[in-house]
Amino acid sequence: MARQAATSLSRDFHSNIDIIPLAFMTAISDSTGHPQLNFANQGDKCTTFDGTQLLNCPELATDIPLCQTQYNKTILLSIGGATYTEGGFANATAATTAADRIWSMFGPPPANLTTNLTTTAAPVLRPFGAAQLDGFDFDFESTVSNISPFAQRLRSLMTAASRTDARPRLLTAAPQCPYPDAADNAFLSGPDAVAIDAVFVQFYNNYCGVQSFVPNATDQWNFNYAAWDTWARTEAAQANAGFLASVKAELVGIEEEESEAAEEGEGESCGGYGDDDRTRRGVEFRA
């Protein structure tokens, strides 16, 4: 397949997109002790820090705060993806340590760091320099261990920062549509559930996807919007959690997808719809 021409994050400045997840962080700690980032063709505009495989992305460092402050976009970093293979963490301590490291790299920059944010001499390597993200998204597609303490630590760090600067921050997840999701259920439901603000349910690549929606049918035997609506209203640790129906651009025409989802999507917890793949059509999460 021919490689698509890279497009800038700034392409979405004036769009009706509300939330833009940057995908993906494919490893939380590689052999050099740093995360690995893969932004598809956006990576062509990045270099790597010396001695690491960690991307240094000055164009994104410029675009992110413009998207946030001038155009009111929420920018998340999606962790996981189909190529993630670490399997989580050995124990809760390792999970919370990793969360602290991720926060130092993508959360608010330390006040004592001014220009030296993206060099190997810096105490913390920050791929987006002084830019900070609005939160994190979990897209684990295979079984992972000790993600609940990882998520809980990020949740605590974001909550504390928001109390200081009054800046909203989101913790989200992108489970596949079979319910309960095999990879994410431990931190979405039950005693170890973490307060997730929203889930971007992947209604594609599975029997329960939007392609199984039957118009005008009283019962939906495969398309399981209702199951996720029930989770958001009755099981989510975050009382006001919602979900967004995410669909794959290649399945059917975008207009058809959204029309079908909208017919079913009248549950009180549904917050909008998303299209996936940003480098082709744009990852769009619209309220």
Distance CA 126, CA 58 (A): 10
CB-count burial class (<10 Å; 0-12, 13-18, 19+) for 28? buried
Among residues 149, 261, 132, which one has the least CA distance to residue 200? 261
Catalytic center residues? 141
Mention every residue, 6+ apart, whose C-beta is less than 8 A from residue 20. 9, 12, 67, 73, 74, 75, 76, 278, 283, 285
Q: Let me know the angle formed at the C-alpha of 83 by 16 and 55, rounded to the nearest 5 degrees.
A: 70
E runs forming strands in the chain: 19-27, 36-37, 47-48, 55-56, 74-80, 135-139, 170-173, 198-202, 242-248, 270-276, 284-286
